[in-house]
Amino acid sequence: MARPRSFDPDDVLEIARQVFWQKGFQAASLDEITAASGIAKPSLYAAFGDKHALFLRVLDRYHDGILGWAERTLAQPGPAREAIRQWLTGFIPYCSGEKGQRGCLSINSATDGSLDQAALRKSIERYNRRLEELLCTRLRADRAQFKKGFDPDITAHTVMVVHAGLMALAHQTPDSKQVKAVIDQVMSLLA
Amino acid sequence: MARPRSFDPDDVLEIARQVFWQKGFQAASLDEITAASGIAKPSLYAAFGDKHALFLRVLDRYHDGILGWAERTLAQPGPAREAIRQWLTGFIPYCSGEKGQRGCLSINSATDGSLDQAALRKSIERYNRRLEELLCTRLRADRAQFKKGFDPDITAHTVMVVHAGLMALAHQTPDSKQVKAVIDQVMSLLA
DNA sequence: TCCATTATGTACTTTTAAGTACAGAACTTA
DNA sequence: TAAGTTCTGTACTTAAAAGTACATAATGGA
């Protein structure tokens, strides 16, 4: 029994994500987001709260997207190594060439010193924990495939480090072949 | 034949580095730097130019420091693997525990979307190129120690990726033992 | 049809931080 | 010691961006 919203919040989050991803949290202004989305500021504030809260929503959405895809990819049948290789390979477009310029929104946010807000840190930590958990679970499940002495926990963390490194170096837009070669080399650890 | 400077530019760069490292480029204000250094803004501007130019000076100094240390460490006698392991191990204080919070100034800057300035990009690229070159040179020199089929170029890049990943995940202040375990596992690739 | 309620858009306030004008201080050299 | 030059500090201007007040529009229900 009131005037209905004239926009889909999801659409706005999508646009806000693009702006934040392109510019970073600090450099992205709400004016840019209102301009890009056509939504006036008071509506934004009413729907999402202040800039930090909006960013948190955007980041959580981003995390959910990647986690969903990781869950699907890592649940694949076949050797764990191939599932993980495929997961990492899926990032190649985002850490080389044109799309690579932006890197990973989560890592960009984590390395942004201005974002030491508790809520942000928690979101990123939860995301990383969950991702590592997925890797770990898969490696443990397929433990029999590996050599004696293989440590799934450490290996999962190593894969996390490699993933973070690829995304951090994405801003230099490396050659995708080079990225692929690194993935191949690291995958030789899963034996 | 004029009034001399009342401060050592190097001291100011050191203080500016701390502020930029702590807060990030955007969030660090010149007022904080003037407060921390005791130097008034007009003196800062006269000595270093605007905020971007000051940051560039700070970053170049930072790069030089790390490169100098890398040159010394990687020139060590003995197996290449041990030299590189020692090099990576040296970063442990900076990617775990208390100091780790800040991560790496260069990587933080690279992932900061607001810094797509040409000069910044070039500085970071040159730094990464030089670092990879040092690794590469060392691995090539010790080629005989490795198995047939060992590729020093790809391996150097893999080490770069691992280094970047460790520094990117530094903000989560992981346990130093975990970091060490990852380094050990990756070093097994140098065989 | 009128009312209560919630969204919208314009235009504002406020804050913060970058950058600078200018007067005066400190030094060198003639 | 005076002139010329460059540095320093106070206080300012300016710009940008976060957040909001308020009048108005759109809806569901009585």
DSSP A80-122: HHHHHHHHHHTTGGGSSHHHHTT--HHHHHHT-GGG--HHHHH
Give the minimum alpha-carbon distance from A79 to chain B in angstroms, rounded to a whole number.
Answer: 21
Nearest residue: Cα versus C1' of D5: B2
- Structure tokens, B59: 């970053």
The alpha helices in chain B, defined as continuous H runs, are 9-23, 30-37, 41-48, 51-74, 80-89, 97-100, 105-110, 118-141, 152-168, 176-187
Average pLDDT over residues B63-86: 97
Residue-wise pLDDT for B24-36, tens only, equals 999 999 999 999 9
CATH superfamily, with its number, for domain A9-187: Tetracycline Repressor, domain 2 (1.10.357.10)
The closest CB to that of A157, out of B24, B112, B178, belongs to B178
Tell me whether residues A160 and B165 touch, CB distance under 8 A.
Answer: yes
For residues A175 and A96, the answer to whether their CB atoms sit within 8 Å is yes
**Residue closest to B110 by CA, chosen among A110, A136, A134:** A110
Instruction: Band the pLDDT of A3: cuts 50, 70, 90.
Output: very high
* Test the B interface: residue of A122, A169, A172 with most B CBs within 10 Å: A169
Min distance A95 CA to chain B CA atoms (Å): 12
The reply to whether B47 Cβ lies less than 7 angstroms from strand D is yes
Q: What percentage of chain B carries pLDDT values higher than 90?
A: 93
Residues B109-152: tens digit of each pLDDT: 999 988 878 999 999 999 999 999 999 999 999 999 999 999 99
* Nucleotide of closest approach to A49 (CA, C1'): D19
* pLDDT tens, residue by residue, A48-95: 999 999 999 999 999 999 999 999 999 999 999 999 999 999 999 999
- In the numeric block, which tokens belong to residue A71? 């869950």
Instruction: Give pLDDT tens digits for A151-190.
Output: 999 999 999 999 999 999 999 988 999 999 999 999 999 9
Domain coordinates of chain B in residue numbers?
Answer: 59-187
Under 8 Å between Cβ of B190 and B145? no
Say how far B42 CA is from C19 C1', in Å.
9
Distance from CA of B156 to the nearest CA of A (A): 10
> Residue B83: how many CB atoms within 10 A of its CB?
19
Q: Cβ contacts of residue A25 below 8 Å, gap of 6+?
A: A51, A55, A109, A112, A114, A115
Residue owning tokens 């100091």: B99
pLDDT of residue B73: 98
The C-alpha atoms of residue B158 and residue B190 are separated, in whole angstroms, by: 11
Query: Which is more confident, A101 or A152?
Result: A152
On the question of pLDDT at A136 being above 80, the answer is yes
Which two tokens mark A109? 């946010």
The rounded percent of chain B whose pLDDT value lies above 70 is: 100
A168 and B172: CB-CB below 8 Å? Answer: no
Instruction: Evaluate if the CB of B39 falls below 7 Å from strand D.
Output: yes
Q: Is the pLDDT confidence value at A123 over 90?
A: yes
Chain B nearest C-alpha distance from A32 (Å): 14
**Positions of chain D reached by protein Cβ under 7 A:** 4-11, 16-22, 25-29
CB distance A114–B26 less than 8 Å?
yes
Provide the pLDDT for residue B182. 98
> Which chain B residues contact residue A151 at CB under 8 A?
181, 185
| pLDDT band at residue A116 under the 50/70/90 scheme | confident
Residues in chain B closer than 8 A to A114 (CB atoms):
23-24, 26-27
Q: In terms of DSSP H, where are the helices of chain A?
A: 9-23, 30-37, 41-48, 51-74, 80-89, 97-100, 105-110, 118-141, 152-168, 176-187
* CA-CA-CA-CA torsion sign (B81, B84, B90, B96): negative
Q: What percent of chain A has pLDDT over 90?
A: 93
Which CATH number is associated with domain B59-187?
Answer: 1.10.357
Gap between the Cα atoms of A52 and B143, Å rounded: 51
* Average pLDDT over all residues of chain A: 96
Q: What is the average pLDDT score of chain B?
A: 96
